Amino acid sequence: MPARAFSLLPPRHGLARVLSKAGLASRTVAAAWVRAGRVSVNGRVVRDPEHPVRVGLDAVAVDGRPLAVAERVYLALNKPRGLITTADDEQGRDTVYRCLEGAGLPWVAPVGRLDQASEGLLLFTNDPGWAAAITDPRRGPDKTYHVQVAGVPDEAVLAAMQDGLEDRGERLSAKAVRLLRSGGRTAWLEVVLDEGRNRQIRRLAAAAGFPVRRLVRVAIGGLVLGALPKGAWRYLEAREVAALRG
């Protein structure tokens, strides 16, 4: 039997993906660049975002400039309530990028999401591999939230939220739930998630009979929001970036 031949060439990837992985733009924006004729491969303009490219072998250029990996940037933002976690909102609502205006940053994308009514720690980066590690549902870091609910749940309710409750045919649960403090009509809970389903905490609390009044993400893994002012952002330190990667 003849020996199997192994290729030493790097694998092919779609052109828009290659531009995004280099940290230059989102894949959607990169695809628009390609369709507009701004990108060439080996000296020839290519208009197909899925055109196969071998990174390191094929010469890719954007607006005539050779492709270079952008300097990796890692940010933490204290997201205010009312902002949409997207680059461009079809309804014209303010987005989280309002907080980054005028900073002279390269393209960065949110790592995961916080819905419009939620607040707190939101990460940004132009490193897709790092972002994927943070959002991985099996190996990514836990996310910790402080949640104000209507009413004061007892220990039985907290245990039920942790064990799991049904919502529209889906079983929702939290890794940990505990009471932080309570008043006469509301209570603050600490909720830890090791997965991220759509509006998971809001749905879980509502299923328990205690609707959410306010939701603040206070930590991702060992990275805490701390005293970062609302609407402000900061660069992550190298040790923080490494620790979140796991």
Active-site residues, by number, are 115
Determine what percent of the chain falls in helix, strand and coil, rounding each to the nearest 5: 20, 30, 45
Cβ count near 50 (within 10 Å)? 13
Structure tokens at 205: 């609390």
171 DSSP 8-state letter: E
Structure tokens at 95: 């987005």
* Of 61, 21, 20, residue with least CA distance to 39: 61
- Assess contact for 128 and 21: CB atoms under 8 A: yes
Q: Can you give the three-state secondary structure of 66-99, one letter per residue?
A: ECCCCCCCEEEEEECCCCECCCCCCCCCCEHHHH
- As a whole number of angstroms, the distance between CA 193 and CA 155 comes to 18
Q: Mention every residue, 6+ apart, whose C-beta is less than 8 A from residue 94.
A: 82, 83, 84
- Count of CA atoms in the C-beta half-sphere (13 A) of 45: 9
